[in-house]
Amino acid sequence: MALYGINKRNGGRAKRELAAGVKTGNDLKQVYTIDFSQGGVKIGGAKLQLPLGAPVELFLEKKGEKIPFLGRIARNDGIYHINRIGRDANAFFVKITDERFSAFVKEAYQV
């Protein structure tokens, strides 16, 4: 896991840039996570375009297994530089509606 940046919210939290997948309809795109919270995850991808309010399925990896979570695009966060790929990317916040997500984040990332 790659950790980058200094957190502005509280000193013990770092950004997590991990490869993930986001599925809208039948279209699956590779994205990168930017930051996790209990309610969702900020994702980014080069040329990524997602409509606000659109339902999505987010695939996060844990111990080699891809775990799907249902959510909606809550906001467009504009351009964000992703250190892992060395590029600027379009960033979006996905509000996760899946009840398993909070436990997943606590266990996997200690947020």
Please give the pLDDT value at position 109.
Answer: 65
Please give the pLDDT value at position 52.
Answer: 96
Please give the pLDDT value at position 54.
Answer: 95
Please give the pLDDT value at position 48.
Answer: 93
Q: How far apart are the first and last CA of the chain?
A: 15
Tens of pLDDT along the chain (111 residues) come to 444 455 455 544 445 678 899 999 899 999 999 988 878 999 999 889 999 999 999 999 888 889 999 999 999 999 999 888 889 999 999 999 888 988 888 777 665
Please give the pLDDT value at position 64.
Answer: 83
Please give the pLDDT value at position 62.
Answer: 81
Please state, in angstroms and rounded to a whole number, the distance separating the CA atoms of residues 87 and 80: 8
Residue closest to 58 by CA, chosen among 17, 95, 87: 95
